[in-house]
Copies of this chain bind each other. A is one copy, B any other.
Amino acid sequence: MNLSEMASRARESFYILSAQPLSARNGALLRMAEVLEAEKADIFAANEADLMKAETEGLASPLLHRLRFDEAKLRQVCDGLRALADLPDPIGETVFCHEITEGLRLYRVTCPIGVIGVIFESRPDALVQIASLTIKSGNAALLKGGREALGTNGVLIRCVRRALEEAGLPADAAQLMETREDVAAMLKEDRLIDLIIPRGSNAFVRYIIDNSRIPVLGHADGICHVYVDQSADLETAWKVALDSKTQNLSVCNAAETLLVHAAIAEAFLPHFADLLREKGVEIRGDERTRALIACEPATEADWSTEYLDAILSIRVVDSLEEAVDHINYYGSHHTDCILTQDQAAARYFMDRVDSAGVYLNVSTRFADGFVYGLGAEVGIATGKIHARGPMGLDGLTTYKYKLLGHGQTMAEMKSGERAYTHRVLPEKCPL
């Protein structure tokens, strides 16, 4: 089937799905868990084949680990499906009600976005998670996983589609794209597709943006900072900075650059360097850092580098303002932390740092949708439009206005026959 056909079917499915009650959508999620369990022999077999092929091709160990879909992964995924079914309905919610004039009420109501193209890494569980999130929120999805997981994903999508059908929903609410050519074709379908969520490198997100008119919710770099202010508590600072870098090295919310105020650098850095070395972290420091601790030299390029590895760049700054300027210039506007006991410094930092997450005295590792209490994580949006930072289900929704009247006309408003009352009412939309 060509992509135009797939996109048309997705659109038809969206129209149907968007009007289904929560019980039907939740029913599909619960059925997905059952079908996955029932078909696990096929899933594991396909996965073994994918893994063997990837190993032969020399795929790196962490990526092989990510590719594996075993009994433990299955359990995790099914638990996730059931937890998602427990979340409240993200659509059909009245955001506000305004009375415009007597007998005329405006409701802003949440609704699905429509048809969403999601391109993600070679992590088979991601396919199930993403499909479950789009279904829960009434959207139709065109999914593309990494090619290493093609076999596993082929079985998984079959399970998802079977579950949809058995739950009385259109199977085409979840479709799998298989090749890069499919993705390229998808980018042209701006009449049928409402949003693309590419999870990948900056270069990949740029390629999508450059080749499509469809809005893109980018999910890319994480160049996160920890800034140790002159009035930081040292014990807290050592602990939080270390966790931000080392608790998990290869995630987007790991800190990549540490900034230290000159007035506290001498007290902070030597012990911190010991802690980093214990964890096997390579330190790259500017000249003033190198005057205090033994480390490799940092270059301009280091400030803009997301290592995703046991490397940390360190720079000594003369002021809070300089730290803020550095972060706004070099950072990826993801998550940045200040360690301080000074409220005014904290306020300045959190207002002026132009990032999705600004943290005070807590590890950058907390930037995650589940941690935030959003109940789900669709991805981490790196832009500012529509969603910013860790995205929950609301990132997959938009709203529409429902205006319920009794024959009012603009002529009547203009002539004064009717007057605007403009009252905010605590009403839910009845339709």
Q: Are A351 and B18 in contact (CB under 8 A)?
A: yes
Q: Are A356 and B401 in contact (CB under 8 A)?
A: yes
A431: which of B242, B354, B360, B388 is its contact (CB, 8 Å)?
B360
Q: Are A354 and B114 in contact (CB under 8 A)?
A: yes
Q: Are A371 and B100 in contact (CB under 8 A)?
A: yes
Task: Tell which of A43-51, A68-76, A260-268, A379-387 binds the partner.
Answer: A379-387
Tell me if A224 is interfacial: C-beta within 8 Å of chain B: no
Q: Are B354 and A407 in contact (CB under 8 A)?
A: no
In the assembly, what is the distance between CA of A210 and CA of B209, in Å? 9
Tell me if A328 is interfacial: C-beta within 8 Å of chain B: yes
Residue among A352, A354, A399 with the highest chain B CB neighbour number at 10 A: A354
Task: Tell which of A29-37, A117-125, A146-154, A361-369 binds the partner.
Answer: A361-369
Q: Are B403 and A362 in contact (CB under 8 A)?
A: yes
For A367, the chain B residues whose CB sits under 8 A away are 401
Task: Tell which of A58-66, A157-165, A171-179, A342-350 binds the partner.
Answer: A342-350
A357: which of B206, B388, B403 is its contact (CB, 8 Å)?
B403
Task: Tell which of A269-277, A306-314, A408-416 binds the partner.
Answer: A408-416
User: Nearest-CB distance from A211 to chain B (Å)?
Assistant: 10
For A209, the chain B residues whose CB sits under 8 A away are 213
Which A residues, 97 to 134, have Cβ-Cβ distances below 8 Å to chain B?
Answer: 98, 100, 104, 106, 113-114
For A407, the chain B residues whose CB sits under 8 A away are 233, 235-236, 239-240, 361-362
| Contact flag A400-B431 (CB < 8 Å), given A15-B328, A206-B213, A405-B362 | no
Which A residues, 383 to 403, have Cβ-Cβ distances below 8 Å to chain B?
Answer: 383-386, 388-390, 398-403
Q: Are B409 and A247 in contact (CB under 8 A)?
A: yes
Q: Are B431 and A347 in contact (CB under 8 A)?
A: yes
For A390, the chain B residues whose CB sits under 8 A away are 401
A343: which of B355, B408, B431 is its contact (CB, 8 Å)?
B431
User: Nearest-CB distance from A34 to chain B (Å)?
Assistant: 28
For A383, the chain B residues whose CB sits under 8 A away are 215
User: Nearest-CB distance from A108 to chain B (Å)?
Assistant: 9
In the assembly, what is the distance between CA of A347 and CA of B343, in Å? 51
Q: Are A19 and B351 in contact (CB under 8 A)?
A: yes
Q: Are A243 and B409 in contact (CB under 8 A)?
A: yes
Q: Are A243 and B410 in contact (CB under 8 A)?
A: yes
Tell me if A426 is interfacial: C-beta within 8 Å of chain B: no
Q: Are A431 and B350 in contact (CB under 8 A)?
A: yes
User: Nearest-CB distance from A408 to chain B (Å)?
Assistant: 5
- Nearest to A422 among chain B residues (CB) is B373
For A352, the chain B residues whose CB sits under 8 A away are 15, 18-19
For A410, the chain B residues whose CB sits under 8 A away are 243, 247-248, 363, 365-366
In the assembly, what is the distance between CA of A272 and CA of B236, in Å? 75
Tell me if A195 is interfacial: C-beta within 8 Å of chain B: yes
| Contact flag A400-B388 (CB < 8 Å), given A407-B240, A431-B347 | yes
Tell me if A194 is interfacial: C-beta within 8 Å of chain B: yes
- Nearest to A370 among chain B residues (CB) is B420
Q: Are A400 and B114 in contact (CB under 8 A)?
A: no
For A399, the chain B residues whose CB sits under 8 A away are 388
For A403, the chain B residues whose CB sits under 8 A away are 357-360, 362, 366
In the assembly, what is the distance between CA of A371 and CA of B105, in Å? 11
User: Nearest-CB distance from A104 to chain B (Å)?
Assistant: 6
| Contact flag A113-B384 (CB < 8 Å), given A357-B403, A410-B243 | yes
- Nearest to A362 among chain B residues (CB) is B405
For A213, the chain B residues whose CB sits under 8 A away are 206, 209-210
3 A-B pairs with the lowest CB-CB distances in the bound complex, closest first: A362-B405, A365-B410, A243-B409
23 A-B contacts, Cβ less than 8 Å apart?
A15-B352, A19-B352, A98-B373, A100-B373, A113-B384, A113-B385, A194-B384, A195-B385, A210-B213, A215-B215, A215-B384, A217-B385, A233-B407, A356-B400, A358-B402, A359-B404, A360-B403, A362-B408, A363-B408, A366-B405, A366-B410, A373-B422, A388-B399
